[in-house]
Amino acid sequence: MHPLSRRRFLAATAGTAATLALATPPARAAATGRRGPFGRYGTPAARLTPQTLYVDPLGRGDATSVRDAVAATTGSGWTLVLAPGVYRETVVLDATRTEATWIGASEDPRDVVIVYDNAAGTPKPGGGTYGTTGSATTTVQADGFTARWITFANDWLRADHPDITGTQAVAIKIQGDRSAFHHCRFLGHQDTLYADSISLAAFARQYYSHCYVEGDVDFVFGRATAVYEHCHFRTLNRTDLAGAPYGFVFAPSTAGANPRGYLVTRSRISSEAPDAFYKLARPWVPSSDTTARPSLTVRDTRLDAGIDAVAPYTNMSASFPWQNQRFAEYRNTGPGAEITVPENRPQLTDEQAESATRETYLGDWKPWKGEC
């Protein structure tokens, strides 16, 4: 989708008829209408469980905003069912609200959008700026979180704010262990998906299945142990730069003590930009953890021509060259995966690849079982 048309959609007022018409194709809208705004997931009068709350911007549920619904829950095990609409708000699921599940009722992530437009450099009320973490539209700190069929977005645009230099604008920051996303979308530009942990010592495990992520600079980043399976990553075009590189898909900041960072498997990386204008990854060694050893393995994945096949990796800092980090590939295909300079494309051996699996990365947690 073109960035301008995407912005027009996301900027629509939540709950308006125009928004719902854009979000829901007519045939499915008719079906949803027959079943009500919450589809097959019950209603406030017929709850799936006593700990199920219904959210609808048109007022047909328990709350009209996700934030208010979260505030109405305490403790563990709550489910939020979200009716189609655009929820323009920031949301924080704190560490006390564990084992939460959020479901997009129509079972199409295009219909349920949680979006806001803060950037790192956006002024805060009362002074200062939000910073990268504070820019997040949605923040998940709790363990055991699951989301299905939801779009998480940040629609802040550089062109609208030429005076702001802190252009990081996070759609979602996830810090909890056992965080799973199925059939979700993550939309933004710089720093879209912040797959992190609650602390340096915590090795948070995350799983993304059949998800779509788009952006430009470091748009999948952080120190989590994260598996991306059957996902589609799309790099955006840019008109504010005269030449390559336009950006970087991955920027892991894996703790040195953590044996596993990001694993991308059976996925695809496509591009709106000219050929070879994007790097696959660069290592992020933050000032708060100079012992980090970023880890990324991309395997059995199609890399389209937008990825620079000659030099797919680059440095974020000359002090921490990518060659000293834990980057590797295995059996990738497509023009962006062509090995023209072998020393620039570290490859796993067959034996090493045997442990580069979701089972090894996630241990006794198996979030792919029972997936809808």
* Residues annotated as catalytic (active site), given as ranges: 191, 218
Q: How far apart are CA 203 and CA 197, in angstroms?
A: 6
8 Å CB contact between 361 and 368: no
Phi and psi at residue 27, to the nearest 5°: -65, -45
- Residues of 195-217 as b/e, b for ≥16 C-beta within 10 angstroms? bbbeebebbbbbbbbebbbbbbb
3-state secondary structure of 360: helix
Q: How far apart are CA 303 and CA 197, in angstroms?
A: 28
> What's the burial of 350, exposed, middle or buried (CB within 10 Å: 0-12/13-18/19+)?
exposed
- If residue 31 lies in a helix (H) or strand (E), which one and from where to where? helix 26-35
DSSP single-letter state for residue 218: E
8 Å CB contact between 79 and 100: yes
8 Å CB contact between 278 and 310: no
3-state secondary structure of 231: coil
Phi and psi at residue 20, to the nearest 5°: -65, -35
Q: How far apart are CA 137 and CA 283, in angstroms?
A: 24
- If residue 88 lies in a helix (H) or strand (E), which one and from where to where? strand 85-88
3-state secondary structure of 362: helix
Q: How far apart are CA 252 and CA 197, in angstroms?
A: 12
Please name which of 185, 35, 60, 220 lies closest in space to residue 112, comparing C-alpha atoms: 185
For 315, residues 6+ apart whose C-beta sits below 8 A from its C-beta are 282, 283, 321, 322
Token pair listed for 69:
């619904």
